[in-house]
Amino acid sequence: MIFDRMSLKPKTAIVTGAAHGIGRACALALAEAGADVAVIDLKDTVFKTADEIRALGRKTIPVIADISDEEQMNEAIERIIREWGKLNICFCNAGTFQDIPAEDMPLEEFERVIRVNLTGAFITARAAGKAMIQGNIPGSIILTASMSGHIANIPQCQCAYNSSKAGVIMLGKSLAIEWARHKIRVNTISPGYIRTWSDEPLKPEEIGTSNFEQWTPLRRFGSADEIQGLIVYLAGDTSSFVTGSDFVIDGGYTAF
């Protein structure tokens, strides 16, 4: 049965950037699908996400760590392997953002964005990939890129962000080719304008009023829970022939 094949029992997963937004929503979705989910973030609100996972009847390990710090991420994943014995799924979701005109951007700010979004994704994926290879475990690694890895958004000034996310897409393809022999699948997702910055719902009169919504064919922001189904699909066995792909979830924004 298809629903049986979509179950993630008894898999284990890690999600970075799990304190809020897409990371939190997808960590809960993986748990609802049956996985035990370790959650990693710099913010201590990640412990709230962990409590929500426990309430679903799944195990969790909350970790405060910086994805751009090699030592911290290696230690985090080593801890997960020690406690759970295996790692099946890694959702490298954490990232950062900037909106600074290129001519005014300090070099250290450009390098910070690249360090978090691209280097951090590599550090996390490499640590997860090593654990899967050493454990001889077929796995799924998912990286959060962005539609901004495909287009240059207007009117934002975000050359560092766009460059980092384009790099994440190619990183995913490269790792997919390298690790196919280990039966590790690597894919990327490229969200569009997902409303993750506030838990407060928009008032009816506010819906569809921003330029970002007007420029999106569906005329609205996406929500974090609209990413959940794709992550569960990519994490599980129903996507066993899917690797090296990028999935754009943008309400049609990049279709024209």
pLDDT digits (tens, 9 = 90+) for 88-107: 999 999 999 889 999 999 99
Residue 146 annotated as catalytic: yes
Per-residue burial over 1-20, b if 16 or more Cβ lie within 10 Å, else e, is: eeeeebbbeebbbbbbbbbb
Buried b (16+ CB within 10 A) or exposed e, 58-95: bebbbbebbbbebebbbebbeebbeebeebbbbbbbbb
pLDDT, tens digit, for every residue of 143-159?
A: 999 999 999 988 889 99
Residue 199 pLDDT: 53
Q: What is the pTM of this model?
A: 0.95
What pLDDT does residue 239 have? 97
Q: Residues 96, 116: contact at Cβ < 8 Å?
A: yes
Q: Which of 68, 140, 146, 163 is the catalytic position?
A: 146
- What angle, rounded to 10 degrees, do the helices at 21-32 and 46-55 form? 20
Instruction: Determine the pLDDT at residue 148.
Output: 96
> Is residue 198 flagged as an active site residue?
no
Give the Cα separation of 110 and 49 in Å (integer): 30
The residue-averaged pLDDT of 191-210 equals: 71
Q: Reply yes or no on whether the pLDDT at 138 is more than 60.
A: yes
Residue 132: CB partners within 8 Å, gap ≥ 6?
Answer: 87, 88, 138, 139, 182, 184
Mean pLDDT score of the chain: 94
* Residue 162: pLDDT over 80: yes
Report the alpha-carbon distance of residue 190 to residue 102 in Å, rounded: 23
State the catalytic residue, choosing from 140, 148, 161, 239.
161
Choosing from 165, 190, 193, 239, the catalytic residue is 165
Q: In angstroms, rounded to a whole number, what is the distance separating the alpha carbons of residues 52 and 139?
A: 25
pLDDT at 196 over 80: no
Can you tell me the mean pLDDT for 188-217?
A: 78
- Read off the pLDDT band of 1 (50, 70, 90): confident
Band the pLDDT of 201: cuts 50, 70, 90: low
